[in-house]
Amino acid sequence: MAINPTRVMIGISLAMGLLAGTGLAADPAEVEKLVNARVEVGEMMTNYFQGWERYGEGQRPSPERMEEMTAEINAKLGTLLAKYDLTVESYRQRSRAIFADDTAVKGYLSEHPDVKQRYDALPFDRMGRAESSERGY
C-alpha cells in the first residue's frame, strides 16, 4: 500500500491544529483586564446616556451633536482604557478573542462576585436582544 502524501499532510495539519487549539486558552491576566475594562466601559456608557430617553421617542440628535457626542465618548473611552494599557482599537480587537472564550470569562466572573454583579447589571447590546449575552460596547 502506497502512502498518499495528501493524506499525510492533512493528518499532520489536523494534528497541529488540535495541539495548537489546546494552547489557545485565554490568558487569565488578559481576561481580568478586559472584563474589568468592559465593566467600566459599560458603566461609563450607561451613565453617559442616562436621561436621554427623549431620543428614543423619535427625536434624534442633530448631525453636529452626533459628531460632538462621538468625540466626547471617544475621549472618555480613551482615558478609561489607558489605565488598562489599552487603546480603543486594541480593546476592540482583543476583546473579541477574550469574550469568545466564554469559559474563561465565566470562570473569572465566578471568582469575582463583585465584578460579576456589575457585569450582569450592564445593558444588553444596542439591538436589545435579550437572549444575547453580547454587550454593545
CB-CB contact of 105 with 98 (8 Å): yes
Which residues, at least 6 apart from 58, have a Cβ–Cβ distance to it below 8 Å?
none
Q: Could you tell me the CA-to-CA distances from 57 to 45, 50, 134 in Å, in that order?
A: 19, 14, 25
DSSP assigned state of 124: -
pLDDT tens digits for 90-118?
999 999 999 999 999 999 999 999 999 99
d(CA 21, CA 27): 14
DSSP assigned state of 54: G
- pTM greater than 0.75: no
Chain Cα centroid distance, residue 60? 27
pLDDT tens digits for 15-69?
555 444 444 568 999 999 999 999 999 999 888 888 666 555 667 778 998 899 9
